[in-house]
Amino acid sequence: MSQSSIASCTSARIGVLGAGGRMGRTLIQAVHAAGHTLAAAVERSGSSLVGTDAGELVGLGTLGVPVVADLAEVVGQCDVVIDFTAPDATARHMAICAQAGCAMVIGTTGFSPEQKRLLQDTAQQVPLVYAANYSVGVNVSLKLLELAARTFGDSVDIEVLEAHHRHKVDAPSGTALMMGEAVAGALDRKLDDVAVYAREGQTGPRDRQSIGFQTLRGGDIVGEHTVMFIGEGERVEIRHLATSRMNFASGAVRAAAWLSGRQPRLYDMQDVMNLRETSIPTT
């Protein structure tokens, strides 16, 4: 389908990758709730879910969309696919979508430097939204973090605390790093130069330029992030708590619908929500 014809669609044809996982199932529900067409559902080869109707998988009844094991079989049916899988799987999916001319919304985290370069390369061929977190609240929080960082400047210590369920395999979370990058950027620092990911033993006095990260894993915590601006005599905390995966899924579906008809480029949720041009006062 041409880019112009995609743009005229009132309902995007959306494929969900990793359809059998916790996030994949929520994405299927979110696509249906938003009134878009679930065009494909893909699960890893060998999964017992292959062949299952995607609607029955999530309690929506029969949708006539069988779960398949190969994206290449169904990519031509999609205007855009949503991928919350794993770095290696996402890398394979990017190659298929680039060849087929299919747009992508990617929420996978934990990419290697080489895989991050592949993101950039793929976005030169097809429109691609990449974000570590698709929650509307988190992306509003990023603007608040920029404001706080620019206002406090070097007068406070900055710490990022995050907590997730016991099954999450990367740490710190992509969202925590995204928050750290927002703060560092507002302070004209490079996160790679100032991030501190662990403290143990005799660490000496805290460097005011550093941005600390603390990671918690346990139970079924969906996602909690707190950025603390700690001064003398006061502390400001900007906190986001996620209680359901549906807020991430709804944001990703919103991004997929927005992406239809866009030119090849690497976008993020700040673009989707039109926050890129929102002005932040400076001191």
**Annotated active-site positions, please?**
164, 168
Give the span between the Cα atoms of 142 and 276, in whole angstroms. 11
Are the C-beta atoms of 71 and 41 separated by less than 8 Å?
Answer: no
Q: Please, what's the largest Cα pairwise distance for the chain?
A: 62
The SS3 assignment for 129 reads strand
CA 107 vs CA 14, 78, 166: distances in Å? 15, 18, 19
| β-pairing verdict for 80-83 and 103-106 | parallel
- Name the phi and psi angles at 93, rounded to 5: -65, -35
Q: Angle at the Cα of 153 (from 180 to 201), degrees rounded to 5?
A: 55
What is the amino acid identity at position 127?
Answer: P
| Closest C-alpha to 6, from 36, 46, 51 | 36
The DSSP line for 8-28 is T-SS-EEEEESTTSHHHHHHH
Tokens (6 digits) for 212 = 């600390």
3-state SS, residue 184: helix
The 10 Å Cβ neighbour count of residue 204 is: 6
